[in-house]
Amino acid sequence: MNDLLILMKSELLLTVIIFILLFIKIGKGIKNEILLPVIQVLFLINFIAGFFLNADGSLFDGMFYTNSLIAFQKNILNLGVYLISLLFANWLTKNEHMPEFFMLMLSALLGMFFMISSGNLLIFFLSLELATIPVAAMVNFDLQKKTSAEAAMKMILNSAFSSGILLFGISVFYGVTGTIRFTELPSMLNNSPILIMVFVFLFTAFAFKLSIVPFHLWTADVYEGSPFAATSFLSVISKGSVAFIFMATLYKVFQPMHEVWYNMVMLLSIITMVVGNLFALRQQNIKRFLAFSSIAQVGFILVGITGNSTAGTSSVVYFILIYTFSNLAAFAVAAAISWQTGKERIDDYKGLYKTNPFLSWILALALFSLAGIPPTAGFFGKLFLITAGAAKGNYMFITIAALNMIVSLYYYLKVVRAVFMDENEQPIARISIQRSTKLGLIICGAGIVFTGLLSWIYDYIQNLF
């Protein structure tokens, strides 16, 4: 019993928060303005609690396992959720269904926690579903907007499709090996064609979730249609969690087949970076722009994953931490502008610096971090991913990755140019942001600057395993 309490601590805590929200919703309505700070504090407590009482161990006959690395990964997601509750305060307080939004978000997060901790293909599948379906509801949260419903529809169809593929892969996997446990699977694996097919099916399912090219087609539309809070959850938390479990699966389960998957992951990484970058070049809508840029970022994460080493693991975790700060900051600035003016085109941002210097600097920091420019943390994140990938000695691959950084710099600079350099007769008026949003942006900004410069953060991740 004690084991259960400690090992499943983060999951239990989340469940408690979900129930608190549920009771609040059932009981007399509390005004959003009062409720939101309470929720923020709950999330903060949840995040801080994530650092304490972490133990290694497994439960339910190995179905669920956890260790300090997994606890840290969960805590990155906790941090992301906390930041979302801060950053999108404008939109959240005006939404009459705010408690539901958080309940859905936390349910999805719970699914992700179980997914990261899963030690068994079935529990993995179940938790993946739990992590997906509430997100579709979140995407649909702008009830009066058609595009939001359309996005949710696209997302749910795509998820159903990928779940089908995943389930098919799992059943064949079980048929071949006779086991669904992650601990027993590796010894059964070899490079036989049927196992390669199984891997392809599983990889496809992951690719859908991570929006790896050629399974990325839903991304831009869904991002564009959904409310900013849902978009950023989808692009940061959802992607981050899948990247964690994808890496764990590759490194632990499919380790005997690493020569097979190395080539596949490498090829898709190149395609993903190139396609994501090329499409991002032409985007005018900031959400679509960030969607394609996040596709390109996933390509970079794959570079680190091909490293197949502890350095690969720690650099991916590190990068996702940085990516959380940077992408959330970029989305938050775009959301604040869109909330007040309804403008989402990059051209509308011209002259933003004159009227909103604070937002402009945060946006610039976030974009520089995404582009990998020092002294922002993105530089360290990308460099370590590339270094981890380069350990395999495939320099062609690394050169392509490095050249892709330049292409991505071009379109990130396009936004910076609009904000800082272009003249505009009627720039966006001064944006009023809530105090909590400001706090969130400052946290993100500090995270972008200091996660890289303070090397002990990386050391901390490195020493987790």
Partner 1 sequence: MNLIFLILVPLLTALAILAMKTAQQVRVVALTGSVVQIILAFILLVSFRNEQLTGNTAQMLFEQQYDWFPAWHISFHLGVDGISVAMILLTAFVVIAGVLVSWNVTRMTKEFYFLLILLSLGAYGFFISLDLFILFFFLEVAVIPKYLLIGIWGSGKKEYAANKLALMLMGGSALVLVGILGLYFTGNEDSFDLMKLAASNIPVETQRICFPLLFVGFGVFGALFPFHTWVPDGHSSAPTAGSMFLAGISMKLGGYGCLRVATFLMPEGAAEYANIIIVLSSIAILYGAFATMMQKDLKYINAYSSVSHCGFVLLGIGMLTKTAMTGAVMQMVSHGLMTALFFAVIGMIYERTHTRQVNEMGGLLRVMPFVISVLFIVGLCSLGLPGLSGFVAEMTVFMGSWQHPDMFHRVATIAACMSIVVTAVYILRAIGQVGMGPLKAGLEVLTDATWNERLAAIILIAGIIAIGLAPFWLNDLIRPATQVIMDKINIGPLP
Query: Does 411 participate in binding partner 1 (rule CB under 8 A)?
Result: no
CB of 318 to partner 1, least distance (A): 10
CB of 111 to partner 1, least distance (A): 32
- Kindly tell me which residue out of 402, 439, 442, 449 binds partner 1, with binding defined by CB under 8 A: 402
Q: Looking at beta carbons only, is 152 or 367 nearer to partner 1?
A: 367
Beta bridge partners of 58: 65
Which DSSP symbol is given to 307? T
142 neighbors 96 (Cβ within 8 angstroms): no
CB of 352 to partner 1, least distance (A): 13
Query: Does 375 participate in binding partner 1 (rule CB under 8 A)?
Result: yes
- Kindly tell me which residue out of 161, 387, 439, 442 binds partner 1, with binding defined by CB under 8 A: 387
| Strands 64-66 vs 57-59: parallel, antiparallel or unpaired | antiparallel
Q: Which stretch binds partner 1 (CB under 8 A): 32-40, 181-189, 408-416, 433-441?
A: 408-416
- Kindly tell me which residue out of 110, 379, 437, 451 binds partner 1, with binding defined by CB under 8 A: 379
279-338 positions binding partner 1, by CB under 8 A: 311, 314
CB of 368 to partner 1, least distance (A): 7
CB of 456 to partner 1, least distance (A): 9
CB of 367 to partner 1, least distance (A): 11
What is the separation, in whole angstroms, between the first and last Cα of the chain? 26
Query: Does 442 participate in binding partner 1 (rule CB under 8 A)?
Result: no
How far apart (Å, rounded) are the C-alpha atoms in residues 276 and 211?
A: 10
Q: Looking at beta carbons only, is 134 or 276 nearer to partner 1?
A: 276
Q: Looking at beta carbons only, is 60 or 395 nearer to partner 1?
A: 395
Torsion sign over Cα 452, 9, 205, 85:
negative
CB of 187 to partner 1, least distance (A): 30
Q: Which stretch binds partner 1 (CB under 8 A): 92-100, 107-115, 289-297, 390-398?
A: 390-398
Q: Transcribe 152-169 into DSSP letters.
A: HHHHHHHHHHHHHHHHHH
Torsion sign over Cα 31, 109, 359, 42:
positive
Q: Transcribe 54-118 into DSSP letters.
A: ---EEETTTTEEE-HHHHHHHHHHHHHHHHHHHHTHHHHHT-TTHHHHHHHHHHHHHHHHHHHHB
**In sequence order, which residues have a C-beta less than 8 Å from that of residue 279 and are 6 or more positions away?**
220, 292, 295
Q: Which stretch binds partner 1 (CB under 8 A): 82-90, 226-234, 330-338, 392-400?
A: 392-400
The binding track of 329-368 with respect to partner 1, each residue x by CB under 8 A or -, is: ---------------------------------------x
For residue 262, count CB atoms less than 10 angstroms from its CB and return exposed for 0-12, middle for 13-18, buried for 19 or more. middle
Q: Looking at beta carbons only, is 30 or 449 nearer to partner 1?
A: 449
CB of 77 to partner 1, least distance (A): 23
Residues 93-111, buried b or exposed e (16+ Cβ, 10 A)?
A: bebeebbbbbbbbbbbbbb
Q: Which stretch binds partner 1 (CB under 8 A): 166-174, 261-269, 286-294, 416-424?
A: 416-424
Query: Does 455 participate in binding partner 1 (rule CB under 8 A)?
Result: yes
Q: Looking at beta carbons only, is 199 or 368 nearer to partner 1?
A: 368
Beta bridge partners of 285: 345
How far apart (Å, rounded) are the C-alpha atoms in residues 331 and 329?
A: 5
Place of tokens 């990998």: 372
Torsion sign over Cα 203, 61, 190, 249:
positive
Long-range interactions of 155-158: CB distance < 8 A, separation 24+:
155/218, 155/222, 158/208, 158/218
Q: Which stretch binds partner 1 (CB under 8 A): 6-14, 50-58, 82-90, 372-380?
A: 372-380
Rg (CA), the chain: 21
How far apart (Å, rounded) are the C-alpha atoms in residues 163 and 171?
A: 12
Query: Does 72 participate in binding partner 1 (rule CB under 8 A)?
Result: no
Query: Does 68 participate in binding partner 1 (rule CB under 8 A)?
Result: no
- Kindly tell me which residue out of 187, 252, 395, 435 binds partner 1, with binding defined by CB under 8 A: 395
Torsion sign over Cα 241, 247, 253, 254:
positive
Q: Looking at beta carbons only, is 267 or 403 nearer to partner 1?
A: 403
Size of the site for partner 1 (CB under 8 A): 34
Q: Which stretch binds partner 1 (CB under 8 A): 15-23, 151-159, 232-240, 406-414?
A: 406-414
Query: Does 403 participate in binding partner 1 (rule CB under 8 A)?
Result: yes
Torsion sign over Cα 309, 173, 239, 461:
negative
Residues that bind partner 1 (CB under 8 A): 311, 314, 368, 373-375, 379-380, 383-384, 386-387, 390-391, 393, 395, 398-399, 402-403, 405-406, 409-410, 413, 416-417, 420-422, 455, 458-459, 462
